[in-house]
Amino acid sequence: MQIDINESFRITNDGSHNFIIEERKLIRSTKEGVADRYEWKEVGYYGRAEIALDAIVDKVELRSDLRGDVNDLKRQRQQLADDVRKALKKIEESQKTWAPLETSIHTSDTKTM
């Protein structure tokens, strides 16, 4: 599973238990003739999607350029909130396709002596 929040953040999972926040980082080349590249770096692991989405809001705000004016920061926060809502909707839709495992407890008729 991969849910893109914006161009810099996404949520993936490890296939079993964790939702992983990843941030896209620019890796500058130190060698001549080798181009810079982007890589996804793990930022945090979360047991629930809702907690991961809340954490993304905090992480994006911490990495924001706070030199902007207040109106710009408000617009960025609103855009991020919209992105998180879209991602949450994707998660909810993907969970609808999952069929929960039915567990049943079988009891046998045993006599105690």
List pLDDT tens digits, range 79-97: 877 887 787 777 777 766 6
More confident call, 84 vs 100: 84
Query: 12 pLDDT exceeds 80?
Result: yes
Predicted confidence at residue 82, as pLDDT, reads 81
Decide if 112 is inside a domain. Answer: no
For residues 94 and 25, which has the higher predicted lDDT (pLDDT)? 25
User: Is 22 inside any structural domain?
Assistant: yes
- CA of 107: how far to CAs of 101, 103, 113, in Å? 19, 13, 17
Query: Of the candidates 48, 89, 64, 47, which has an alpha carbon nearest to the alpha carbon of residue 9?
Result: 64
**Tokens 């907690």 identify what position?**
51
CB 29, CB 35: distance < 8 Å = yes
In a domain, 113, yes or no: no
Q: Could you list the residue range(s) of the whole structural domain that residue 46 is in?
A: 2-95
pLDDT grade, residue 2 (50/70/90)? confident
- What average pLDDT does the segment 38-54 reach? 87
State the total domains in the chain: 1
Is residue 35 included in any domain, yes or no?
yes
- The answer on pLDDT for 25 being more than 90 is yes
Q: In what order do the strands lie in the sheet with 2-4?
A: 2-4, 9-13, 19-27, 37-46
Mean pLDDT of the chain: 76
Q: Which two tokens stand for residue 60?
A: 């994006």
Q: Write out the DSSP string of 8-51.
A: SEEEEE-SSS-EEEEEEEEE---STT---EEEEEEEEEESSHHH
For residue 104, tell me if it sits in a domain: no
Residue 16 has pLDDT above 80, yes or no: no
